[in-house]
Structure 1
Amino acid sequence: MQIKTKKSLNGFEVNNQLKAIETKYSNIFQSINVGIIVVSDSAGNIIEWNKGAELAFGYSSSEIIGKPLTVLISKKQVDTGVKEILKVKDKLDNDTYGDNIEMLGLRKNGDEFPVEFSMSNWQHGEEEFYCAFMLDITNRKKLEEKLKKTTKDLELFLYRSAHDLKAPLTSAEGLLHLLKEEKLNKRGSFLVTMLDETLEKGRLLLDNLAFASVISEKRRDITVVDFQKILGSIMIALKGVNNFQSVAFHIAIEQENDFNFNWELIDSILQNLILNAICFVKPKTKTHVPTIKIRIEVSNQGANMMVTDNGLGISKNHLDKVFNLYFRGHSEVSQGTGLGLYIVKRIVDDFNGEIKVTSTINEGTTFKVHLPNLK
């Protein structure tokens, strides 16, 4: 019986198979017309160019191969763009994940358009190669600008509405003041007190609405923040709040470095967090002392603020809603406007900070805020 064995491939056959594989993947690479893919050598010269790149930039492969990557960058951003690319290249060379980059691309006809891209690298022999995966984000940028304008218009409307509503509220407060000077019976005095509290809540609500509408503008006014002074003024401002006198406050501030931020925004964050803690304290008893701990740590990188109470707490079902507009976790608590934590979150988000909340029912709540040092 004759046994047939599989013959090993000779050099010619191996070469043909390699060429077939190369042709296959080259066809796949060139056929991708949605994403923009550009490959360069270690000197930054373009060596591969797919259909998506041709459609986006307007150059054919024969026109662009061998040209430096800088021809694809807007002349306005060449210097900064090259620096960003080199940063990513260094990270890749050190086996670190490279960040996504946004910059203005430059088409063959001179038009500029926004692109976002990430890079990868590989080595073949002693040569290093880099591949940029790009996306044309023109539509996304247009949408972002539209959203910014809409937000700006809404903020302006909110500010003007709050400002205009203050006029009749101020008039009502003046009339109430005159009414207090009159001789009233017990029921009349009771109604005046209720009206006074109602107008105070309305004024606080309008103040918060007006403040929420100008948060983004506050980034223009950056100063060195003194947390000791801010907390001192907050304690004075909150003395008239219900339950304040029953609370034991523990304040710890570690600030050896200057912290640069907007003074009003820091004041708003701390005041709203402390007021929220006061609003949800449990009554003082022989075995329970309402306690609020305020801890602030400042470094060159930023400030960490923590406000902890031993009050009513927040249920797990509500933790992801506490920063929503007008949300109240305990309907029986009448203090506050439902805007405080929303404002805190707006400030933190606008400045790329971080806020976390943890809570246990009947044990208390902790808010942690981190904000960058805007030096």
Structure 2
Amino acid sequence: MTLAAHPTTQMHAVLQHAPIGAVIVDTAGMVSWFNAAAAETLGEPNAATLRHSLIYARLSESEAENLRQLLEQHFAAPIDTRTRQIGLIAADGTAQVVELTVAPVPNEYGRYAVLYIQSLTRQVTAERRFVQIFENLPLGLIVVDGRQRIVQTNASLKAIFGYAAEELVGQPLDMLLPDRYRDAHGRHFVGYTAAPSSRMMGSGRDLTGLHRSGQEIPVEIALSKLEATNQPLFLAIVTDISGRKRSESALQQTNAQLEEFTYVASHDLRSPLRGIGDLVTWIREDIGEDNLTTDVRHNFDRIALRISRCEQMIDDLLSYARAGVRDMHMERLDPRELIEEAMSMAMIPDSFSVEIDIAGGTLTAPRAPLSTSLRNLIANAAKHHGDRSGRIRVAMREEGRFSVFSVEDDGKGVAAGNEERIFKLFHRASPGTEGDGVGLAFTRRMINAHGGMVTVQGHGPLGGAQFEIHWPRILLREFDDE
């Protein structure tokens, strides 16, 4: 732009290409000069319109008054610089926050001042985003200073401990700790501030926080140092793990009860069954085979068969209990070989045709539980088919971190509403077939114990039931570390 000669022409040349906006105004607030960065910040497509305009026109009434006072103070004592944040309205009507610094113009003291304008839009936007993330994160966040005083918390933290914001800010951090932890926590905090690092707190130990009600809450806490210019600040990320602890406790109780039950079944039930079997044998011998009528002999055979089935049920229950333990022996498995192995053990009748479709590579997994699961599903496809002959399709594909094995048939399928019920212990999908209803429950328990899942579609593409095993080919850390 072409400007008239001015005593501060040399200053103009210096500021013309500065990355920060610069505007020279007189005592009335009239713009006498500006640089390109100022025009861009003010959103002026026609920069020439800025010259000889009032700087106050870019401000709201209250902000204009703030700037007038700032300039009056400056011209009254134009030696020092003064800085203030104000809201500015750009030419297109958008509002933004800027930082204004008023400085004297060399050789023009008392007549002109230079306003350095720096847009804080990006900074304000970043701060707002941080506040939104901080406040809405579904984890408890708490910021403390070097004296262990609470500086800031978010909604989740307040919900975890049952406090309002005004009850926490400015208070000592140990108000959220049970009494027995407070002395040790103070020492640990001092040690952490001396060598801060991002880490989990109390690794390997159960930690609890103190709720406003006086109850203790099981928590996990991660610590990190925050960058701060005036004082050290530290961030604690608090997770309420009450639900997880309840689930773990319930699972432990269930497993303990199951172990107790299977112990009773294997010892206290098997022994009486054998005793009954012996008594039946002795009675039969005492009567003599020649004296047994056809009906009596048939009844004795029925008793022996039912004793055998009860013993088999006990064995199945023991297998079901053991199915909850993961097999740690990992192998590199070829899916086709695995399926063919399972098929050979399932003993499919020759009247059934079996199709294998592989669309995935090898996987690392324990052979026994995966092979057993496939064998059970393939055998069920024939046993519960509904006809003496049919078609079975076994396929494998990769989906995310899982290898997905599907077993489907063209039989009668699974009735609507029974998709989950068939996985229950002692539920028999087909009352007319052999078995005690443990097979599918055993299969699901074994698959779940290894981080997978099994589902069923009552009527799949072939018309009959379609079972899918999602087996992890990429293990999560929780399984790798066990």
What interval of TM-score do these two structures reach, taking the shorter chain for normalisation? 0.5 to 0.7
**Contact (CA 8 Å) 1:313, 1:360: kept in 2 or not?**
yes
SS of alignment partner, residue 313 of structure 1 = coil
Letter matched to residue 73 of structure 1: M
CA distance in 1, matches of 2:376, 2:345: 10
**Deviation at residue 310 of structure 1 after TM alignment:** 1.7
Aligned residues: 305
Q: After superposition, give the CA deviation of every residue in 1:45-68 in whole Å (9 maximum; x if it has no partner).
A: x995433893446789xx999888
Q: Please say if 1:271 is aligned against 2:375.
A: yes
Match of 2:362 among 237, 257, 260: 257
Other-structure match for 2:457: 358
Higher relative contact order (CA 8 A, sep 6+): 1
Other-structure match for 2:254: 151
Match of 1:290 among 390, 396, 400: 390
Letter matched to residue 66 of structure 2: F
**Deviation at residue 30 of structure 1 after TM alignment:** 12
What TM-score do you get using the length of structure 1 for normalisation?
Answer: 0.60
- Percent identity between the aligned chains? 16
For 1:111-126, what aligned pairs fall within 5 Å after superposition? 114-115=219-220
For 1:126-137, what aligned pairs fall within 5 Å after superposition? 134-137=238-241
CA distance in 2, matches of 1:327, 1:118: 49
Letter matched to residue 304 of structure 1: V
Match of 1:191 among 260, 278, 299: 299
Match of 2:325 among 217, 230, 237: 217
**Deviation at residue 210 of structure 1 after TM alignment:** 0.6
SS of alignment partner, residue 304 of structure 1 = strand
CA distance in 1, matches of 2:143, 2:86: 25
| Residues 1:163 and 1:133: Cα distance change in structure 2 (over 3 Å) | same
Other-structure match for 2:71: none
Other-structure match for 1:22: none
What TM-score do you get using the length of structure 2 for normalisation?
Answer: 0.49
Letter matched to residue 423 of structure 2: F
Other-structure match for 1:347: 446
Q: Please say if 1:74 is aligned against 2:201.
A: yes
Q: After superposition, give the CA deviation of every residue in 1:95-150 in whole Å (9 maximum; x if it has no partner).
A: xxxxxxxx97799xxxx97416899xxxxxxxxxx98753243x445434532431
Other-structure match for 1:91: none
SS of alignment partner, residue 291 of structure 1 = strand
CA distance in 2, matches of 1:254, 1:360: 22
SS of alignment partner, residue 305 of structure 1 = strand
**Contact (CA 8 Å) 1:218, 1:262: kept in 2 or not?**
no
**Contact (CA 8 Å) 2:139, 2:237: kept in 1 or not?**
yes
**Deviation at residue 168 of structure 1 after TM alignment:** 3.7
CA distance in 1, matches of 2:379, 2:350: 13
Runs of 5+ unmatched residues, structure 1:
1-5, 19-28, 41-45, 78-102, 120-129
CA distance in 1, matches of 2:135, 2:402: 48
Match of 2:140 among 36, 45, 50: 36
SS of alignment partner, residue 306 of structure 1 = strand
CA distance in 2, matches of 1:321, 1:116: 40
| Residues 1:72 and 1:235: Cα distance change in structure 2 (over 3 Å) | closer
Of 190-199 and 249-258, more deviation after overlay is shown by: 249-258
CA distance in 2, matches of 1:47, 1:11: 37
**Deviation at residue 223 of structure 1 after TM alignment:** 4.9
CA distance in 1, matches of 2:221, 2:281: 61
SS of alignment partner, residue 423 of structure 2 = coil
Other-structure match for 1:23: none
CA distance in 1, matches of 2:325, 2:386: 37
Other-structure match for 1:81: none
Runs of 5+ unmatched residues, structure 2:
1-59, 68-83, 88-96, 98-132, 154-167, 210-216, 225-233
**Contact (CA 8 Å) 2:201, 2:223: kept in 1 or not?**
no
**Deviation at residue 297 of structure 1 after TM alignment:** 5.6
Letter matched to residue 335 of structure 1: E
Tell me how large the CA RMSD over aligned residues is. 5.3
Q: Please say if 1:317 is aligned against 2:420.
A: no
Match of 2:407 among 297, 307, 311: 307
CA distance in 2, matches of 1:115, 1:248: 54
CA distance in 1, matches of 2:346, 2:134: 67
For 1:161-176, what aligned pairs fall within 5 Å after superposition? 161-164=264-267, 165-170=269-274
| Residues 1:56 and 1:262: Cα distance change in structure 2 (over 3 Å) | farther
SS of alignment partner, residue 219 of structure 1 = coil
**Deviation at residue 296 of structure 1 after TM alignment:** 4.5
Other-structure match for 2:80: none
Q: Please say if 1:370 is aligned against 2:474.
A: no
CA distance in 2, matches of 1:67, 1:296: 55
SS of alignment partner, residue 295 of structure 1 = strand
CA distance in 1, matches of 2:134, 2:397: 55
CA distance in 1, matches of 2:274, 2:341: 28
CA distance in 2, matches of 1:342, 1:363: 23
**Contact (CA 8 Å) 1:294, 1:305: kept in 2 or not?**
yes
Other-structure match for 1:335: 434
CA distance in 1, matches of 2:459, 2:134: 57
CA distance in 2, matches of 1:31, 1:67: 29
SS of alignment partner, residue 426 of structure 2 = coil
CA distance in 2, matches of 1:234, 1:298: 25
Q: Please say if 1:10 is aligned against 2:64.
A: yes
Max Rg structure: 2
**Deviation at residue 279 of structure 1 after TM alignment:** 3.1
| Residues 1:305 and 1:228: Cα distance change in structure 2 (over 3 Å) | closer
**Contact (CA 8 Å) 1:355, 1:367: kept in 2 or not?**
yes
SS of alignment partner, residue 420 of structure 2 = helix
